[in-house]
Structure 1
Amino acid sequence: MNIKKSIVLRVRIVFLLVCLFACAILYKIVQIQVLDGTKWKQISKERRIRYQPVPATRGNIYSDNESILATSLPFYRVAFDPAIAQAETFNTGIDSLAMLLSRFYKDQSPEHYRRKIKNARHAGRRYIRLNSRQINYQEKKMMANWPIFRAGKNKGGVIFEKVEKRFKPFGMLAERTIGFINEDKNGAGLEFSFNGDLAGTDGEALFERIAGGNKPIYDGTEVAPQNGYDIKTTIDINLQDVAENALYKALVEKNADYGCVILMEVKTGEIKAMANLGKTKGGYIEDYNYAVGNQGRTEPGSTFKLASMMALFEHTNLGLADTVDAGDGRYRIKNTTMTDVKIGGYGKISVQDVFEKSSNIGVAKLIQENFGDNQQAFVDYLHKFGLSSTLGFQMDGEARPYIKNTSDKTWYGTTLTSMSIGYEMKLAPLQTLALYNAVANNGVKVQPIIVKEIRRADQVVQTFQTRVLNERIASEETIKKVRTMLEGVIQNGTAKNLRSADYKIAGKTGTARKVKDGKYVRLYSTSFAGYFPADNPKYSCIVIIDSPRGVNVYGGDVAAPVFKEVADKAYARDLAMHQPLRARVVPNKDSLPQVKAGSLEDLSLIMNRIGVSNHSTATNDDEWVRVTPQMRSLKFEPNPVRGGQVPDVTGMTLRDALFILGNQHLKVSVEGTGKRVVKQSVQAGTEINKETKITIVLS
């Protein structure tokens, strides 16, 4: 009996404790929901609502003639606040809206969209993404007139989330030079190096974090983003295309590992072409900037003999007709043997012949005889020529040159002679080219540049002028001697295949053995560096072909022909190099601007600001117009862009054309250079399908 009473007592105690615990929970619920409800709702709202950045539109990258190399085109994702619309607006429009969404996206039935939106409205959700597919600007304008959506974002609940895509009209052309930047702000090329200017300044707006994503709140506190600046490069699209094609053919023919071409204006240092191609499983692509970066920094080989000869002429009274005994083609230095290409050697030859025939022994003997007792003096001349310093190039990633000093632990008894022929040191191709460019420029060494201006629209924010790095790298007499030698290489030496009846070329071939696992192997880095026309230099150029395979793998056989093709094309299209400039035609001040087509708003604004009379038959709903001159005024006529049809973009600027065609989901390719579209491959008004491609021609 006592046991029974004990058990009942324990059960009652447990029951009482459970009841007390339940009451405590109930009290806490009432306290949170009712007594402190306002407080917790406010805290929840503060945590859900926060300021987030609104991305700025990235600036454009232009070529030297203002052809667009990279631009940003706007696209949108469609989201919806189903709870914001009034009941009458929602109920009368939901069926039509669901049907239009189904027809447009073609992925779900109207019932699916209707149920999705209604369920979200009943659940009080303030944000749903209707579809992950991105739409273009024309589609956005069309959707904005759909039921419910037409009431706008504040009364209809439609949310068009802007997404920008980077577009390169010329495809792979100069891809690595243009570069990229990823979400982590890492990248390469101009996009990365000038990101601070191109990116602009992000704005800020309130966003509410809710199920399905972040919904923007437009409460008047938002800060508009400041769009990025545009940059104008020195790149010539035509010459860039020539350089890449010539390089590509040589790489394929010789099954080489990689190659690069740099073409630069002698006086200004402006880079007109910079091509970089590396071998991948799929072929050759612009995978790295070998012209500037560490992976392209190699032992220059015989192209460095120019610096060695300059040091000799600066240090001695040596003349081009003086002689040196190159012997039988073998030269013993300490415990190593240096050889020449010619079997049996060159014997006793002139200094001019030493350079033209690229005699390793001839150069090494001259350097050893004149600098053997003061080896640091030779190194000091290399410093004077600027070969041990970076150029301060505008793009990030310039390799640091490596020039040994006599105090280095790796300076051996053979180092002086090895350096004299381009070994035991490393230079990037651009750094070697800068030396040749200085010789072409009568001893004035200028800094290479690839960006000329930073602009906002037509307003120039910053200009980059030609900067002189060294007023005179060597005496006038030395420059005259080495220029004679460089011309002799083409006339009588290792690059006779470059001779032209139309103009003179000056330059030097290079063939340097590659190092693998600490040993020199039978793979070569071949090169040719020079300038043209030799008597009045306009351009300097360097070509590198790394690890060519097969027969004839020397610089004169592999790299020199690429130089010749680039030089021929540059010479052919630059009339100033081979005939007098035509007299300039004085413009007629009464003539009208050569405007063909464009945005009504932009053209009206521009014409009004410059004082050109204009009138329009277009309405405010007509965004695009064609322009017809009438007497001394311009007439704007509608140029409608209809969904599903190819628009007429002739006469427009490249950017406007890309904007319109991209919004029509057309695959676009660009031919020619210039500021305006003169021809399109698909006739305006043609129905668009998934396979429609269009080519636009610039002039």
Structure 2
Amino acid sequence: MILLFALIGRLVQIQLVSSESFTKHHINLIQSSVNQRTQVLSIDSGRGKFYDRNGEPLGHEEVPALVLFPFLKGMDWPSKKVAQAAGISESDLLSAVNKAQKPFAYGGKTPLYLTDTQMDEINSLKIPGVFAISQSVAKKMPAEQLIGTLTKWESRKKQLYPRQNLSPEAHVGNTGLQAAFDEFLLSEGESKLVFHVDGIGGPLFGVDVKYVEPANPLYPVRVITTLDKELQAAAEDLTDKLQIHNGGLLLLNIETSEIRALVSRPAIHKKNPNIGSENNMFSQAKLGSVFKTVIAAAAIDYQLVKPGQVFDCNVTINGAIDEKRRLGTLDFEESFAQSCNRTFGDLAIQLTQINPDILENYARKLNIIGPSGWQGQVFHSEIKQLFNEEQGKVWDQNTDKKDKRLAAHTGIGQQDVQVTPLAAANMMATIARGGESRMVKAVSKVTFKNGSTVVEFPNKKLDSDSISPYTAMKLQTMLRKVVIEEKGTGRVFQGLPYEVAGKSGTAQTGKMKDGKELYNKWFAGYFPYKNPRYALVAVNLEVPEDSGGINPLFHKMVMEVYRHDQNKND
């Protein structure tokens, strides 16, 4: 009797109590029993998908495919008619079916693309186990660190959705936009073709193949990103061709403050997505002389530079003769164009003596510290579009801001200064807009499957104070002189079809490799100068001083943007 009651108890547990979450592995027994007696072809996982700003799919493709079930090998079916309609060899068709152990799309990794006419003709034959359908096929994801990664880890699922009993096969967002928009993207159920079979895999005749899709026809949703698929492809191709192994680029549309292209290297490792998943465009790094833009803005507002004042640029910020770069005697704007360290070290000392917090205040006004990404309330939840965006810094917590030596090194973007490429691009966009600070967007809206809008993300201003239009105008002139001056550090960009304004930066990292000191190399700018449309930052991290220049990447990307715009206008 004890044994009988124990068996009854076990049966109750299996059939009633734990049928959807059996043992510590949370096995869904109902789903497992269905899997045991069916042949299934997944058409779509049901998870929301990403598209570029023009509605082009990112990371997937809708393929009109010929789907075949393996039980056809034991049937007499009009294979000749199917082959003729699909435009393929009957022998190849029969061979593929005979080799099949489960439902499949004909052609494998290179699926057969059917026309609408071919699909209609095949489906009109009404053959059990033969279908012409549109199937979602995964492709290499562009901007992979921005879009992010998925995981099936149970611990992650329980952390995010403790009250939902998600399938062991269900994916949830782990990084990037996949994580930031996970609640929108979560699958409402996959679309699939299901056919019931007997114990040895034969068809149960009288039971048709069923098309199963989510109960809610509005799903899966579509996340419309701000990326331009063509510009993104060009950016990735250039970054890899120029062998940027640690760094990348970020292209912003200035008017809308939207990301048009983003490349982060190293790429995500195929077998271990945790390797390379960090987005270097959202991670802080030593900035170097690009930070002189902040010093220049503060010096303009506080009128530190008198008319006709010049600086001795033959010496370093410590007062020693500069053996590497003797620039002579330069005025304020020439010092900026040629990136004279002594000038901006001296100005930083003067500013910190006036107020120790001035450098931080102006860094915040120019958006290079603090958050840059879009955030706000959506359906009573706080949405932050840019996953794990770091916020940069000017000083470490315990640094003496009035120490003249430390202030001088801070003024040239060394010491404690750390900034993300995203923030540097946002600074250039702010200057180009005349001082107006805006949040950066990676997603413009989320729509239902039928195209109706779930939520739209408007352009938003940042809460921080901004520089004045006058200061922005002065900075615009100085950034342009970096390029047009005969000895400017950006003179290599003079011949481009779009006039460029910007600032170079080379920062010591304090790291060594093969006996050589490693540097971060930057160029941050915007273009066209007279009618600004794009802000662009290119960065190569931790490379030797005599190699790994970043100017070719910036130069070639401007050319790609110009060609893209010309083609669009044509």
TM-score of the two chains, using structure 2 as the length reference: 0.69
Q: Is 1:330–2:316 an aligned residue pair?
A: yes
In the other structure, the counterpart of 1:606 is none
Contact 1:258 1:279 in 2 (8 A): no
The C-alpha deviation readout for 1:83-103, integer Å capped at 9, x for no partner, is xxxxxxxxxx97869xx9996
Deviation at 1:421, TM superposition (A): 0.7
Matches within 5 A, 1:446-595: 446-456=438-448, 457-469=450-462, 473-492=466-485, 493-500=488-495, 502-516=497-511, 522-549=517-544, 551=546, 558-575=549-566
**Change over 3 Å in CA distance of 1:57–1:305 after alignment to 2:** same
Q: Distance in 2 between matches of 1:367 and 1:259?
A: 28
Alpha-carbon spacing, 1:325–1:77, altered in 2? closer, same or farther (3 Å):
same
Q: CA separation in 2, counterparts of 1:548 and 1:541?
A: 20
Native 8 Å contact 2:317 2:341 kept in 1: no
Task: Give SS of 2:281's match.
Answer: coil
Give the C-alpha shift of residue 368 in structure 1. 1.4
Structure 2 vs 1, CA of residues 270 and 164 (structure 1 numbering), >3 Å: closer, same or farther? Answer: same
Contact 2:447 2:454 in 1 (8 A): yes
Any idea what SS the aligned residue of 1:414 has?
helix
Distance in 1 (CA, whole Å) between partners of 2:12 and 2:317 is 88
Alpha-carbon distance, 1:507 to partner: 0.5
CA drift at 1:323: 1.9
Would the alpha carbon gap of residues 270 and 341 (structure 1) be closer, same or farther in structure 2, given more than 3 Å must change?
A: farther
Decide whether aligned partners of structure 1 residues 270 and 48 sit closer, same or farther in structure 2, where only a CA change above 3 A counts: closer
Distance in 2, matches of 1:236 and 1:339, equals 49
SS at match of 2:239: helix
Cα separation, 2, equivalents of 1:58 and 1:72:
14
Q: Structure 1 residue aligned with 2:236, among 223, 239, 244?
A: 244
Q: Is the 8 A contact 2:224 2:445 kept in 1?
A: yes
Assess, with a 3 A threshold, how the Cα gap between structure 1 residues 166 and 360 changes in structure 2: closer, same or farther.
farther
Partner amino acid, structure 1, of 2:138: F
Change (3 A) 1:410 1:146: farther
Q: Does 1:233 align with 2:225?
A: yes
Give 2:151's aligned amino acid. Answer: N
Q: Which residue type is aligned with residue 455 of structure 2?
A: Q
| Offset, 1:495 | 1.3
CA spacing shift, 1:511–1:77, aligned 2, 3 Å? farther
Q: How does 1:194-233 map to 2 (within 5 A)?
A: 194-202=181-189, 224=215, 227-233=219-225
What do residues 587-641 of structure 1 show as CA deviations (whole Å, max 9, x unaligned)? xxxxxxxxxxxxxxxxxxxxxxxxxxxxxxxxxxxxxxxxxxxxxxxxxxxxxxx
| Alpha-carbon separation, structure 1, partners of 2:474 and 2:369 | 23
State the partner residue of 1:187.
Answer: 174
Which residue of the partner structure matches residue 407 of structure 2?
Answer: 416
- 1:401 maps to 392
Aligned equivalents of 1:483, 1:95: Cα separation in 2? 75
Letter in structure 2 aligned against 1:131: Q
Alignment partner of 1:266 out of 232, 254, 277: 254
Partner of 1:607: none
What corresponds to 1:437 in structure 2? 429
Please say which of residues 502-511 and 467-476 is displaced more in the overlay. Answer: 467-476
User: How many Å separate the matches in 2 of 1:320 and 1:503?
Assistant: 32
User: Which structure's relative contact order is higher, taking Cα pairs within 8 Å and 6+ residues apart?
Assistant: 2
Q: Deviations over 1:373-430 (max 9, x none)?
A: 5323333332333333112341312123123167547985532111111111211100
- Report the secondary structure of 1:298's partner residue: coil
Residues 532-568 of structure 1, C-alpha deviation per residue, up to 9 Å, x if partnerless? 1111211110000123458465xxxx22232222212
**CA deviation string 1:414-453 (max 9, x = no partner):** 3211111111121110011111110011001111111111
Is structure 2 residue 118 aligned with structure 1 residue 131?
Answer: no
In structure 2, give the amino acid aligned to 1:306. Answer: T
- Share of identical aligned residues, percent? 21
Contact 1:331 1:339 in 2 (8 A): no
Structure 1 position 464, deviation (Å): 1.4
**Would the alpha carbon gap of residues 351 and 43 (structure 1) be closer, same or farther in structure 2, given more than 3 Å must change?**
closer
> Is the 8 Å Cα contact of residues 352 and 402 (structure 2) preserved in structure 1?
no
Aligned residue type for 1:364: G
Q: Does 1:307 align with 2:298?
A: no
**Structure 1 pair 359–96 and aligned structure 2 pair: CA distance change class (3 A):** same
- Tell me: CA distance 1:486–1:409, structure 2 relative to 1, closer, same or farther (3 Å): closer
CA RMSD of aligned residues (A): 5.1
Aligned to 1:125: none
Q: What is the CA–CA distance in structure 1 between the aligned matches of 2:13 and 2:462, rounded to whole Å?
A: 62
Using the alignment, how far apart are the partners of 1:461 and 1:239 within structure 2?
27
2: CA distance between counterparts of 1:314 and 1:374? Answer: 13
Q: Is the 8 A contact 1:189 1:396 kept in 2?
A: yes
Shift of the alpha carbon at 1:302? Answer: 0.7
The structure number with the bigger radius of gyration is 1
**Structure-2 residue corresponding to 1:63:** 52
Distance 1:536 1:95 in 2: 69
**Counterpart of 1:167?**
138
Q: Which runs of 5+ in 2 are unaligned?
A: 21-28, 33-41, 78-90, 154-171, 202-206, 375-384
* Cα distance in 2, alignment partners of residues 40 and 347 from structure 1: 89
State the distance in 2 between where 1:240 and 1:374 align: 43
Shift of 1:477: 2.2
Distance in 2, Cα, partners of 1:304 & 1:242: 28
Which amino acid in structure 2 is aligned with residue 444 of structure 1?
E
- How many residues matched? 483
Structure 2: which amino acid aligns with 1:372?
A: Q
Provide the TM-score with structure 1 as the length reference.
Answer: 0.58
Write the mapping of 1:30-69 to structure 2, written as runs, cut at 5 A.
45-46=15-16, 57-69=46-58
CA contact (8 A) 2:434 2:468 kept: no
Task: Quote the Cα distance in structure 2 between the aligned partners of 1:512 and 1:175.
Answer: 27
Structure 1 residues 599-678: aligned runs within 5 Å = none
CA contact (8 A) 1:390 1:400 kept: yes
Please give the secondary structure, in 1, of the residue aligned with 2:101. strand
* Alpha-carbon separation, structure 2, partners of 1:409 and 1:211: 77
